[in-house]
Amino acid sequence: MKRLQLVEYDAGHQHIYVAGDQFVDVFEQQDADHYALLGRVPGAFRAKTALYVPELNRYFLAVPHHENKDAEVWVYNVVP
C-alpha cells in the first residue's frame, strides 16, 4: 500500500506536485538538479495529504473537515 504524502512525483510527465495550504504547486523537472514552477492550482484549507495515481492520470487531494464543511476528496485531471 502506498503511503499518502505531501509531495508526489510524476515520472511520466516529470512533474512534482506539492500539496500545501490553499494550493497545489506543480513543478517541472528541467534536469536532474533543477525544477521550475509551472503553476499553482487552487487547493483547500489544510489540505496537505495527496496521492498521484499514474495509471489513472489523476491527483487526489484529501480535504479535511473545516467549520461547517464535511471532509472530501478532490480529484484533479493531470495534463502534460
Q: Quick: pLDDT tens for 4-14.
A: 568 999 999 99
pTM of the model: 0.84
38 in Cβ contact with 80 (< 8 Å)? no
pLDDT of residue 11: 93
CA angle 14, 50, 43 (to 5 degrees): 95
Distinct helix (H) and strand (E) counts, the chain: 0, 7
Residue ranges per structural domain of the chain: 7-77
